[in-house]
Amino acid sequence: MLIRLAVAITLALAAATTQAADPVRPLPGETQVAFQCRAAFLPEARSCIQRCDAAFSNQATERFECAHACTKRGLFDMADCRTQGGVAVVASMLAAR
């Protein structure tokens, strides 16, 4: 639970202050699987939030709802990745489809 809270806070703060192409660095005490999953899905969530900012620059409520949806989707993707055991496992599952 603590890791999820840390990831949620990191995602929210990082999206507001960084660009999508900025590197993702490991957090202190973060497991390798959690870092791999965060590194795989955080840039996608950042890009999504940037698209929301551009599309709804004059509409605060819509921009917030869009960014919230991006954040929520990113968190769920990271959680699913960690549950499955990492990026390599998720990629192999998707390739098998």
Q: How far is CA 88 from the centre of its chain?
A: 17
Given the structure tokens 């809270």, which residue do they identify?
5
Please check whether residue 52 is in contact with residue 66, taking contact to mean a CB–CB distance below 8 angstroms: yes
CA distance 43 to 33: 17
Tens place of pLDDT per residue across the chain (97 aa) = 666 655 555 655 555 555 556 788 999 999 999 999 999 999 999 999 999 999 999 999 999 999 999 999 999 999 999 998 887 765 665 566 5
pTM recorded for the entire structure: 0.66
How many degrees, rounded to 5, is the angle at CA 8 between CA 40 and CA 52?
A: 75
